[in-house]
Amino acid sequence: MGSLEDLEAVLKYHLAALAVTLTGDASLFEQYAHLGVTYNDYFRRIGNLEDLGAAIKYGLMAVNKTPEGHPELPGYYEALGISYSNRYRRTGNVPDDLAAALKYHSAAVNLTPKGNPRLPQWQEAVAISYTDQYRASGAEEDMKTALKYWLEAVEATLKEHPNLASRYHALDNSYGDMYINSGCIDYLEAALKFHLSNMWDIAISYTKNAHYFGKEHTIHACITALNILPSLLWLGTSVGLHHDALLRNDVSSFISMAVTAALEVSNMKLAVEFLEQGLSTTHQQTLQLRLEHTSLKAEFPVQAHERQKQISQIQKYPHFSDFLLPPKFPTLSGAAKNGPVIMLNYNNARSDAVMAIGSYPLDQDLINRFDKTVDNKSDVYRLPDIKDESFFWI
């Protein structure tokens, strides 16, 4: 943040520029807009309501003098809405200020085309104003409108944007408020959904940046993200929502990337666990097409949530940490006792096959034939650190 002296200098020269600008000058509205923003900044530093009043005065003059269709007009509306919002919060909930804030924030959104990078921020401002109005009036319709704008803001925000997490959090809180006031289980389910989506997005962002600190950090990030996955697909939600979560969060691509990361550090056990988690996730969806679990939420919503709480509690007990979760390597290794198990993994970067062979003796002729099928023997690794199974990575 700049010094107060710098801000005072900016205000001084903006006022000087306005003083020498003729009444009919085509750039007059720009001078008004600059002064409105500067007085608002001055209010934030000093807290003087007179400065906020000046910000509103010049903001109004700016929007009234700006030609229709001017590309800066939405930004002027937004700045004026911010000034009214600040005064609403500072002066003790004056309804007229809140109504004006809603009016100008909404005008900014309505004039901004989809795809504009400033749109999510302005949709967020509308959502906040409707939330303020809901808290003042208690009208459910205000919160529904706030939810609409929060959803639009989240959907329009880029995955890598630093404000995405806070917008998810605000949307989650809004759904929670609606559930508390209405008792409708659908709002609670939505709150859980966006809470978990927020956690998933943060974990994915962590994974994308972890490679800067080393491959082991990437592995830790992958484990963190995949620990969230079962909660995204819990039993009380419908198959349709499961498929939507899988597609929207690109789970299959992430699992493939996680397997590749494990192979790059020669962690065969973890690669097998990641592969199994991907397979079990897919098979779970297929199984639910034939079972009646998906009716649990519709028929007994409270019991569905209680079931999930009980499962989470069981997983905290000793020896039950994997209860109803994809099995860990010691359990998976038993699958190779009666014959080899081959698992495939591929993505845009590379393709791999992991073959687990039980610890029983192998016929030398079989080993010779296996060697002949590999064009480049340097691509085959026998890993002696695994006692119970021999692993080949092709």
Contact 147, 139 (CB under 8 A): no
338: tokens are 């009666």
pLDDT at 66 (0 to 100): 93
C-beta neighbour count of 254 within 10 angstroms: 21
Residue 383 lies in a domain: yes
Number of compact structural domains in the chain: 1
The verdict on residue 323 lying in a domain is no
Q: Show the tokens assigned to 141.
A: 């319709």
Which DSSP symbol is given to 362?
P
Contacts of 20 (CB under 8 A, 6+ apart): none
Confidence at residue 287, expressed as pLDDT on a 0 to 100 scale: 46
Residue 270 placed within a domain:
no
Residue 360 placed within a domain = yes
87, 132, 80: which is closest to 106 by C-alpha?
80
Q: What residues pair up with 345 in beta bridges, in sequence order?
A: 352
Look at residue 290 in the predicted model and tell me its pLDDT: 42
pLDDT of 335 reads 64
Instruction: Tell me if 102 is assigned to some domain.
Output: no
Residue 366 lies in a domain: yes
For residues 19 and 10, what is the distance between their CA atoms, to the nearest angstrom?
14
Domain assignment present for residue 373? The answer is yes
Our CA angle for 368, 370, 376, nearest 5°, is 105
For residue 72, the model assigns a pLDDT of: 94
Structure tokens at 269: 């056990």
Round to whole Å and give the CA distance between 89 and 93: 6
Residue 320 has what pLDDT? Answer: 75
For residues 18 and 28, what is the distance between their CA atoms, to the nearest angstrom? 8
Measured CA distances, 62 to 8, 78, 252, 369 (Å): 21, 12, 51, 82
Nearest residue to 148 via CA among 165, 132, 124? 124
Residue range(s) defining the domain that contains residue 338: 333-393
pLDDT at 57: 94
- pLDDT of the residue at 160: 74
Query: For residue 5, which amino acid is it?
Result: E
**CB under 8 Å, gap of 24 or more: what pairs does 216-219 form?**
216/265, 218/261, 219/261, 219/262, 219/265, 219/267, 219/270
Mean pLDDT by 10 residues, the chain (394 residues): 73 79 78 89 87 93 93 95 92 83 96 93 95 88 92 86 79 78 71 65 71 78 76 53 58 82 83 78 52 52 65 76 64 66 77 72 68 54 42 50
| DSSP SS3 for 9 | helix
This prediction's pTM: 0.55
The per-residue pLDDT for 198 is 64
Answer whether residue 103 is part of any domain: no
Helices 28-46 and 4-19: angle between axes, nearest 10 degrees: 150
In the prediction, which pLDDT does 380 show? 47
